[in-house]
Amino acid sequence: MANKQYLVLARKWRPQAFESVVGQDHITRTLKNAITSGRIHHAFLFIGSRGIGKTTTARILAKALNCLASEEPTAEPCGECSNCEAIAAGNSIDVIEIDGASNNSVEDVRELRDNIRMVPTNARYKVYIIDEVHQLSIAAFNALLKTLEEPPPHAVFILATTEAHKIPATIVSRCQRYDFRRVPVPQIIELLRGILDKEGIAATDEALHAIARAAEGGIRDSESILDELITYCDGEITFKDVFDVLGLVDWQLMHDICDAILAKDVTRQLVLVEEVVTAGKDLTQFVQELLRYFRNLLVSKTANVSELIHLPEEELAALNARAQKISLTNLIRLVEQFAELVNTFDSQLAQRIALESMLIRISKVGVEVSLDTIMEKLIALGQGGLGTGNDGASSATPSAPPATAPRPPATPAPQAATPPPPQAESPPDPTAAAPAESAPAAPAPKARIKVTPENLTRAWGAIITRTSEEDLNLGTWFSRGKALGMEGSTVSLQFSDDNPQAVSFVQDRNNQQAMVEALQRHTTNLESLDITVEEAPATQSRTAASVSSDQPYYPGTNPEEAREVLNDPGVSTVVRVFKGRIADISSVAPTDPLAPDDALDSEE
Ligand SMILES: [Zn+2]
């Protein structure tokens, strides 16, 4: 359907009157007023990014000055007289368009000065439109300055530039300055819709939104994207067409990456990045699109979606479904991480999105985020590792491992095996704040503990904490044992048969091996374990009837004291609010509160 004689839209539909210039009302209104009141300056400076109407406005101004339908300059040039037509076509002998980039020598400007002395042939004014004026050489600027200082009354200069700061102040001060703005998305859409209506071509709203967004406020860019799409599409222009033509990454791939992040599937994430790279997509653009995608997720979770996200229905539904799976805290963290990444790719998009997520944080999740921060601090302090469920008060007990499942020998965290993607240092948890996952970067290795019979109880607590940090499962069962004493490099561990799961776990040879290795990693002098299983004392179950038989063992306290703590309603509330569990119980008052815990770590 593409017409062979096709005239690009930007030229075909170039505005011919001040009223049709889109998005620059502040400028066209001022210009019209100046013309109507007869206060016509001899030099104008048009500043603004490319393709937003500077040259177009300059030509309309030239027509306004020279239109023959009026006795004097008019704010409404007729568009039909010989002058208007010649100017619109770019071949008026009295309106001279100069490209500053290719006519930047002194000779060029001298020639221009000589030319200026001649009175206009068919018009009231000789109009010089110098585009990209910042590219003139210093010598050329000096020559131009002389002209601007004493311009002949029939000369009008319109200087246009994308980079105002490169123009000497002496020039700027002799011009009337006009700052052109990037055009807002709705106005671009309205313009494109108007063009398509005149061309008799259909397009979805979402497609026009996508074009307007991609053009980033530039009229000419939006029109040339539309040009491409008209050539590309047979029927209605759709959202997907825009993606295809612009070489943007397929929307489905965004969903896929999101799903892989939710599933914490690092391999899949890297495979998807590989796909993007292999397809020859621009990574900067991709990262920006990714940020936009997660921003949309955030918006769809927190605000009235239809007004803020302009996507087809089915995409909105897909987005909403995913937004429901991520907690707000994690989503904000994710968006901020992507924004930071985009920042390093140098983009303005990141600023807006950082602002948006901060606003959402302020108004929606202040409490949640601060709790989250507290959790992170607690973990950083090494308080979060002890895996002992509080069956009575907490709904967040760690899931019990299968009692008989042998486990492979523990090896230090295998996370380094697969390189994480740039944003993966704290992958989002699909359910809620995830303490174990969002722990800060791996702490520096701690000094190993020297265990003595005197410090055995405290040292044992520290060993369990460290083991739990590496392997929560192992640490959990480890903690059910009681360190009775030590002889040489062997520590005696006692498990009670009232906890059959723990007994069955520690009797597995693989698990024993893992425990021994943990001892060797974390202590300077323990090499082996002596495990005994003790019958649960009958007296205890009678005198402390309410101590649950599977109440976890807390090294720092006796079972009765522990029971009191576990049954304390205040403690239950804290556990519930923080979605936490009780890691350890110890009494504070009798010991020296200033004694540092790390005193254990005295020896390598
Ligand atoms: Zn005219």
pLDDT band at 419; cut points 50, 70, 90: very low
Cα 122 to averaged position of ligand 1 atoms, centre (Å): 12
What is the 75 CA–ligand 1 centroid distance (Å)? 11
Query: Which residue range(s) make up the domain with 70?
Result: 24-179
Ligand 1 centre from 128 Cα, in Å? 18
> Does residue 84 lie within any of the structural domains?
yes
Distance, CA 160 to ligand 1 centroid (Å)? 23
Distance 412 CA to ligand 1 centre (A): 82
For residue 144, how far is its CA from the centre of ligand 1 (angstroms)?
Answer: 29
pTM over 0.85: no
Say yes or no: 335 and 433 in one domain: no
pLDDT band (50, 70, 90) for residue 253: confident
pLDDT at 168 over 80: yes
Q: How far is the CA of 76 from the centre of ligand 1 (A)?
A: 9
Q: What number is the average pLDDT over the span 23-33?
A: 96
> How far away, in angstroms, is 64 Cα from ligand 1 center?
8
How many angstroms does the Cα of residue 85 sit away from the middle of ligand 1?
7
Q: How close is the Cα of 32 to the center of ligand 1, in Å?
A: 15
Q: How confident is the model at residue 358 (pLDDT cuts 50, 70, 90)?
A: low
> Ligand 1 centre from 383 Cα, in Å?
81
pLDDT of 428 strictly over 60 = no
The alpha-carbon radius of gyration of the chain (Å, integer) is: 37
Lowest mean pLDDT among 29-38, 126-135, 244-253, 328-337: 244-253
Per-residue burial over 97-124, b if 16 or more Cβ lie within 10 Å, else e, is: bbebeebbebebbeebeeebeeebeebb
**Ligand 1 centroid, distance to 55 Cα (angstroms):** 18
Both 275 and 351 in one domain: the answer is yes
Tell me the CA–centroid distance for residue 70 and ligand 1, in Å: 8
Distance (Å, whole) CA 331 – CA 586: 36
Q: Are residue 359 and residue 448 in the same domain, yes or no?
A: no
Residue 384 — very low, low, confident or very high, per pLDDT cuts 50/70/90? very low
CA 77 to centroid of ligand 1, rounded, Å: 5
Asked whether residue 437 is domain-assigned, the answer is yes
CA 395 to chain centre: 34
- Specify whether 133 is located in the same domain as 253: no
**Residue 159 placed within a domain:** yes
Cα 565 to Cα 267, 383, 473, 561: the distances in Å are 44, 17, 24, 6
Same domain, 585 and 445: yes
Residue 362's pLDDT is 64
Average pLDDT over residues 457-466: 80
pLDDT range class, residue 350, cuts 50, 70, 90: low
For ligand 1, the distance from its centroid to the CA atom of residue 73, given in whole angstroms, is 10
Residue pLDDT, tens place only, 144-160: 898 898 888 999 999 99
- Here the tokens at position 569 are 């309603």
CA dist., res. 232 & res. 244, Å (int): 9
Domain final position from 179, 211, 240: 179
Whole-number pLDDT of residue 1:
43
Q: What is the pLDDT of residue 410?
A: 42
Lowest mean pLDDT among 62-76, 245-259, 589-603: 589-603
Indicate the number of domains in the chain: 3
Same domain? 308 vs 418: no
Phi/psi of residue 104, nearest 5 degrees: -105, 10
Task: Specify if 398 maps to a domain.
Answer: no
8 A C-beta contact, residue 506 and residue 531: yes
Residue matched to tokens 């009780």? 582
Q: What pLDDT is attached to residue 578? A: 60
Distance CA 506, CA 534 (A): 13
Distance from Cα 86 to the centre of ligand 1, integer Å: 10
CA–centroid distance, 124 to ligand 1, in Å, is 12
Domain match, 280 and 138 both: no
Q: Which of 179, 205, 236 is the last residue of a domain?
A: 179
SS3 39: coil
Q: Is the pLDDT assigned to residue 397 strictly greater than 50?
A: no
Same domain, 330 and 435: no
What spacing in Å lies between the alpha carbon of 95 and ligand 1's midpoint?
A: 14
CATH code (residue 280): 1.20.272.10
pLDDT the model gives residue 187: 93
Structural domain includes residue 285: yes
Q: What tokens were used for 560?
A: 């009765």
Distance 84 CA to ligand 1 centre (A): 4
Q: How far is the CA of 198 from the centre of ligand 1 (A)?
A: 24
Say whether pLDDT at 402 is over 60: no
Query: Beta 176-179 vs 155-161: how paired, if at all?
Result: unpaired
Residue 395 resides in a domain: no
491 and 549 together in one domain: yes
Residue after which a domain boundary falls, among 364, 389, 405: 364
Q: Which of 216-230, 387-401, 403-417, 438-452 is the most confident on average? A: 216-230
CA distance 109 to 104: 7
How far does the centroid of ligand 1 lie from the alpha carbon of residue 341, in Å? 53
How would you label 63-74 residue by residue, b for 16+ Cβ within 10 Å and e otherwise?
A: bbbbbeeeeebb
Q: Is the pLDDT of residue 161 over 90?
A: yes
3-state helix, strand, coil in the chain (%, to 5): 50, 10, 40
Structural domain includes residue 55? yes
Q: Residue 135 has what pLDDT?
A: 92
CA distances to 201, 422, 587, 598 from 592, in Å = 82, 45, 11, 14
Burial class of 4 by CB neighbour count within 10 A (0 to 12, 13 to 18, 19+): exposed
Residue 101 has pLDDT above 80, yes or no: yes
Is 70 exceeded by the pLDDT of residue 306?
A: no
Helix 219-232 vs helix 239-246: crossing angle, to nearest 10: 100
CA 81 to ligand 1 centroid distance, Å: 4
Across 231-255, average pLDDT: 85
Distance CA 176, CA 467 (A): 73
Tell me how far the alpha carbon of residue 172 lies from the centroid of ligand 1, in angstroms.
30
In a domain, 597, yes or no: yes
CA of residue 603 relative to chain centroid, distance: 44
Residue 437 Cα to ligand 1 middle (Å): 71
pLDDT band at 327 (very low <50, low <70, confident <90, very high): confident
Read off the pLDDT of each residue in 207-233 and give the average, rounded to a whole number: 90
Write down the pLDDT at residue 73. 95
Q: At what angle do helices 106-117 and 138-149 cross, to 10 degrees?
A: 20
43: domain CATH number is 3.40.50.300
- The answer to whether residues 333 and 420 belong to one domain is no
Here the tokens at position 241 are 């067409």
φ and ψ at residue 169, rounded to 5 degrees: -60, -30
Distance between Cα 565 and ligand 1 center (Å):
91
Which pair of tokens denotes residue 306? Answer: 């239809």
pLDDT level of residue 341 (50, 70, 90 thresholds): confident
Q: Cα(111) to centroid of ligand 1, in Å?
A: 29
> Span 466-495, mean pLDDT?
80
More confidently predicted of 70 and 598:
70
Same domain, 487 and 596: yes
Q: How far apart are CA 121 and CA 82, in angstroms?
A: 13
The CATH number that applies at residue 471 is: 3.30.300.180
What is the whole-number distance in angstroms between the Cα of residue 219 and the centre of ligand 1? Answer: 25
CA of 459 from ligand 1 middle (Å) equals 94
pLDDT of residue 371: 54
Shared domain for 350 and 431, answered yes or no, is no
Express each pLDDT in 366-383 by its tens digit: 545 555 565 555 655 554
User: Is the pLDDT confidence value at 38 over 70?
Assistant: yes
Cα(266) to centroid(ligand 1), Å: 66
Tokens of 66: 């020279």
CB contact at 8 A, 67 and 78: yes
In this model, does residue 52 exceed pLDDT 90? yes
pLDDT tens-digit map of 104-156? 788 888 888 888 888 888 889 999 999 999 998 888 888 889 889 888 899 99
Question: Between 355 and 573, where is the model more confident?
Answer: 355
